[in-house]
Amino acid sequence: MNDADSTLKIVDLHASVGGKPILNGVNLTVRPGEIHALMGPNGSGKSTLSNVLLGHPDYAVTGGTVEFRGRNLLDLPTEERARLGVFLCFQYPVAIPGVTVAQFLKAAVDAVRGRGTVKASAFLRELREGAKFLEIDEVFLNRALNDGFSGGEKKRMEILQMMMLKPGLLVLDETDSGLDIDALKVVAKGVNRLTGPSTGLLVITHYERILTYIPPQFVHVLVDGRIARSGGPELVRELEARGYDWIREGAATAPPAPGGAS
């Protein structure tokens, strides 16, 4: 599989929720090895985009394509997208009582990488190594998934799952919200170990905090369901200083000096 195949190409994507148009022509290309940040005010459609990438049934695609590995993801059921190597990290991980972390992760690895591809002994070795790397106590691996876990513990489990699945495209949606700084650093450590020449990363966030630990090369600002501006890391600092309003109103109107905004 060559690198070009693993490029995520979102072209003129339109989507509605409950009949209301939310995405109004999103264009975005994420190549393997690239880290993109998608920022934007609350309600601009960031999570709608991640839900559309996941194939959430509440989000109706009304136009456009999402190419990845030679397929239009929008034509595929969610599990097929996962099998192609798409991994989405959401704000609120679910709890699965009665299924241990280790069982859940083995099932996920079998589903994505193919049953029997990874032997139980190799899986366990990799799992223990990953848990150690993410500072997860081994006792957690035999507890029911996310049942009674703290926000930080759930997030570590999700990152562990990601490390076991080795996705070709990783989307993090507001992964930093509700995490304390230590949990955030562990998340970043896992993400940064995974990302390399063969994985593309899209970090969706309202705040710049996570981008300190996972520095993007490309930054996009979503406003009213469209990418209103793209730039490099300097755009993060500009948004931090000036907020989002100057983009919404159009950059042509003289904005306040950086640092001058409250």
In the complex, the residues that contact ligand ADP under the rule CB under 6 A are 17-18, 22, 40, 42-48, 58
With CB cut-offs between 5 and 8 Å by kind, which of ligand ADP, Mg ion, none does residue 48 bind?
Answer: ligand ADP
The answer for residues whose C-beta is within 8 angstroms of residue 183's C-beta and 6 or more apart is 151, 152, 155, 156
Binding mask 29-68 vs Mg ion (x if CB under 5 A, - otherwise)?
-----------------xx---------------------
Q: How far is it, in rounded angstroms, from Cα 80 to Cα 82? A: 5
Q: For residue 252, which amino acid is it?
A: A
Q: For residue 88, which amino acid is it?
A: L
Does residue 222 interact with Mg ion by CB under 5 A?
no
Nearer to ligand ADP, 133 or 246 (CB): 246
Nearer to ligand ADP, 49 or 105 (CB): 49
What order do you get walking across the sheet with 200-204 strand by strand? 86-89, 169-173, 200-204, 35-39, 218-223, 226-231
The distance of Cα 141 from the centroid of its chain, to the nearest Å, equals 23
With CB cut-offs between 5 and 8 Å by kind, which of Mg ion, ligand ADP, none does residue 44 bind?
Answer: ligand ADP
Task: Show the DSSP H helices in the chain as ranges.
Answer: 46-54, 78-83, 101-113, 120-133, 151-165, 181-194, 209-213, 234-242, 245-248
Q: For residue 29, which amino acid is it?
A: T
- In the bound complex, what is the minimum distance in angstroms from residue 106's beta carbon to ligand ADP? 32
Nearer to Mg ion, 46 or 160 (CB): 46
With CB cut-offs between 5 and 8 Å by kind, which of ligand ADP, Mg ion, none does residue 229 bind?
Answer: none
Locate 32 and state its tokens. Answer: 């393997």
Q: How far is it, in rounded angstroms, from Cα 159 to Cα 183? A: 11
Nearer to ligand ADP, 58 or 262 (CB): 58
Nearer to Mg ion, 66 or 204 (CB): 204
Per the CB < 8 A criterion, the answer to whether 67 and 15 are in contact is no
With CB cut-offs between 5 and 8 Å by kind, which of Mg ion, ligand ADP, none does residue 259 bind?
Answer: none
Locate 62 and state its tokens. Answer: 């009304």
- In the bound complex, what is the minimum distance in angstroms from residue 262's beta carbon to ligand ADP? 22
Q: How many residues does the chain have?
A: 262
Nearer to ligand ADP, 56 or 166 (CB): 56
- In the bound complex, what is the minimum distance in angstroms from residue 66's beta carbon to ligand ADP? 16
- In the bound complex, what is the minimum distance in angstroms from residue 236's beta carbon to ligand ADP? 17
Binding residues for Mg ion, rule: CB under 5 A, are 46-47
